[in-house]
Amino acid sequence: MKTIALLTDFGLQDIYVGVMKAVMRSICPSAEFIDLTHAIPPQSVRGGAIALRNSYSYCPTETVFLVIVDPGVGSTRRPIAVRAGGYTFVAPDNGVLSYALAEIGGEQTAVILENPSYRRQAVSATFHGRDVFAPAAAYLARGDVALHQMGQAIHQLAELPAPTLQVDGKRISGEVTHIDHFGNIITSIGELRWVDEGRLVISIAEQMSARLVADHVTVRIGDETIYGILHAYHEIGRGGLMAQVDSNGYLEIAVNQGDAARRLNVTIGDPLELVLDDGD
């Protein structure tokens, strides 16, 4: 079974996603599709990069990822395919792959999608998803076209700056990286992991690794201060503001059965702090 996972900012109200699947199915009839999301905010390359980082590892090995958040379509930005960690990624070279590739690490091979044999004959300047990226993903998923046949190898890819994450003593500074469908505020502060009922471990690359007592931390975001980190929504009453660890290990601000982003008037990129109190 050939798996192609799609992640785009196309939405579902237009024909774009369906047409790309039709193109891919005509090339690789056995393709099975996973729609990771088509609701990335329009032109938000960084939003796409974060969503891909948080989702790619749940897909089967040998999945081909078709990742299109492409405000530079029709410009000189390069269409690329990258082989990394047992996966193949097809995308514009605008940084949308950078967070996933950084997490995967190891040996990686990248090429420019320039061979006309593996794209549609007529290439629109405004829909490379249909004419360049979808055909490439389908041929690579089919398995009879090698990566090097797609085009010349490249060794430097566009990279996005990492989300804000700084440690200053007992103060950890981060930013809002995502606001989900429910209004939950996802932040760059992590990786957080529960070790028992009342304690967590936080690991920030080479900056720090420490144990936290959940009741002895403070979260400051906007004009609000939140005391302690809870396990899940039910631990606070309906309408209560809380901090918890999201399913990917990042600090999340939520309102039980409410919209935290609306309540706090928070947008993506806004700063916040996690402060470790003296009792940790």
pLDDT for residue 99: 97
Please list the alpha-helical segments (H only) found in 79-163. 98-104, 128, 134-142
Q: Residue 70 in contact with residue 85, Cβ under 8 Å? A: no
Residue 206: the pLDDT is 75
Cβ 56 vs Cβ 65: under 8 Å: yes
Using an 8 Å Cβ cutoff, are 89 and 62 in contact?
A: no
- Selected from 3.10.20.340, 3.10.20.30, 3.30.565.10, 3.40.50.10790, the CATH number assigned to the domain covering 2-154 reads 3.40.50.10790
Put the strands of the sheet holding 64-68 in their side by side order: 31-37, 2-8, 64-68, 87-92, 79-84, 108-112, 153-154
Cα 63 from Cα 56, distance rounded (Å): 9
CA–CA distance, 134 with 136 (Å, rounded to integer): 5
pLDDT score of 278: 60
Question: What is the pLDDT tens value at each position of the chain, 280 positions in all?
Answer: 699 999 999 999 999 999 999 999 999 999 999 999 999 999 999 999 999 999 999 999 999 999 999 999 999 999 999 999 999 999 999 999 999 999 999 999 999 999 999 999 999 999 999 999 999 999 999 999 999 999 999 999 999 999 999 999 899 999 999 999 999 999 999 999 999 989 999 998 777 788 889 999 999 999 999 999 999 999 999 999 999 999 999 999 999 999 999 999 999 999 999 998 865 4
- Homologous superfamily assigned to 165-276: Bacterial fluorinating enzyme like (2.40.30.90)
CA nearest 66: which of 158, 22, 3?
3
Residue ranges of domains in the chain: 2-154, 165-276
